[in-house]
Amino acid sequence: MPVGGAGWFGGGMGKIAVVTGGTSGIGKEIARGLARAGFLVGIVCRNELRAAATVEELVRDVPGARVETFLGDLSVRMDVERVAASLEERFDRLDVLVDNAGVHLLRAKVSADGYDRMIATNHLGPFLLTNRLLGLLEKGAPSRVVVMASEAHRQADRFEVERLAEPGSYGPAGSVRVYGRSKLLNILFAQELARRMEGSGVTVNAVCPGVVATGLLRDVPGTGRAGALLSRTPFMRTPAQGARMALKVALHEEFETRSGGFHSSTPGAGLLPTVGALKDRELQRAVWDCSSRLVGLPSL
Ligand SMILES: NC(=O)c1ccc[n+]([C@@H]2O[C@H](COP(=O)([O-])OP(=O)(O)OC[C@H]3O[C@@H](n4cnc5c(N)ncnc54)[C@H](OP(=O)(O)O)[C@@H]3O)[C@@H](O)[C@H]2O)c1
């Protein structure tokens, strides 16, 4: 059920956006930017206290902000189904969906459904939620899906598609490889969904926010000191700066019809060669099929 909220605008709701993980870091700034742009913002998050604090903050900071929260853990399939049902009950269409929530877990954990929890949170949850919300997005067309990926996709481990969410130790290469895999899956998902939505008026793009000072890396050793050094350089961004690319893709006119891209705001990333997987349609299709099976969607 929706929690909080600030004001009811008569019969019409105006533009509606949903942002996952909008209670901290980049997601909160995306929610703030969308509220400023006049959107009614639905935040999907898992912590009731942080949800209430976020609504309070955004309503205080943004005159006329309309913010509602929908509680659920994206790593848990039943929660995602429940959140999607609440959103469908509350809204009759959707203009923007930002799949932002994500974690960088240092050690392997198993999700409630028996998958690697980082992959479940970062990929399977958004995959299922987005699929469940396609009807609302089609009703809102022209509408947009923005998937928060990362340049970290370049560090993905070699994985078998059929085992993309299999739990297991993170091994000597550590969590960075599995986090990288989750971010690669984000881009492959966005590319495949963009193709599937061609002609529907729903665009789908993945973005990278750059390196941003948030809570994401709190558990990763060395990042404290490295972060402190980096934060003295223009390389490390504030969450508000990190939100800019996602907001651009969500709001600017030029992205009303552009779809299927990966838009990185990391300085110099444009000079790096494209990772092979991003050009591999068969892989994108196989990832889609396997993810569908894992979350219980028909593989069409
Ligand atoms: N920071 C960077 O440098 C960087 C770089 C590239 C990409 N990204 C991506 O940016 C996105 C946002 O990360 P951030 O840096 O802003 O980190 P953050 O400050 O830790 O925010 C992550 C958000 O996701 C939510 N979340 C985590 N697990 C969840 C779950 N199971 N169910 C529902 N919500 C969950 C968190 O909610 P709680 O408050 O409940 O934990 C929080 O609101 C992530 O997808 C990340 O991969 C970040």
Residue 122 lies in a domain: yes
- 61 Cα: distance to centroid of ligand 1 (angstroms): 22
Task: Using the predicted structure, report yes or no on whether residue 299 has a pLDDT greater than 80.
Answer: no
Residue 278 belongs to some domain of the structure: yes
Residue 190 domain-assigned? yes
| pLDDT score for 227 | 61
pTM, rounded to two decimals:
0.94
Percent of the chain with pLDDT over 90: 83
The set of long-range contacts for 258-262, using a CB threshold of 8 Å and a minimum separation of 24, is: 258/203, 258/205, 259/194, 259/197, 259/198, 259/203, 259/204, 259/205, 260/190, 260/191, 260/194, 260/195, 260/204, 260/205, 261/205, 261/206, 262/149, 262/187, 262/190, 262/191, 262/205, 262/206, 262/207, 262/208
On whether residue 4 sits in a domain, the answer given is: no
Count of the separate structural domains present in the chain: 1
Residue 227 in domain: yes
Residue 108 lies in a domain: yes
Task: Give the tens place of pLDDT for each residue, 182-221.
Answer: 999 999 999 999 999 999 999 999 999 999 988 887 656 6
**Candidate of 216, 217, 241 to mutate for ligand 1, largest count of ligand atoms within 8 Å of Cβ:** 216
pLDDT for position 223: 63
170 assigned to active site = no
Could you tell me the pLDDT band of residue 82, with boundaries at 50, 70 and 90? very high
User: For the domain that residue 160 is a member of, what is the CATH number?
Assistant: 3.40.50.720
| Contact in structure between 62 and 216 (CB atoms under 8 Å) | no
Give distance in angstroms: CA of 3 to centre of ligand 1. 20
Any domain includes 6: no
30 ligand 1 Cβ < 6 A: no
Q: Is residue 183 part of a domain?
A: yes
Domain that holds residue 229: 16-295
The confidence score (pLDDT) of residue 6 equals 38
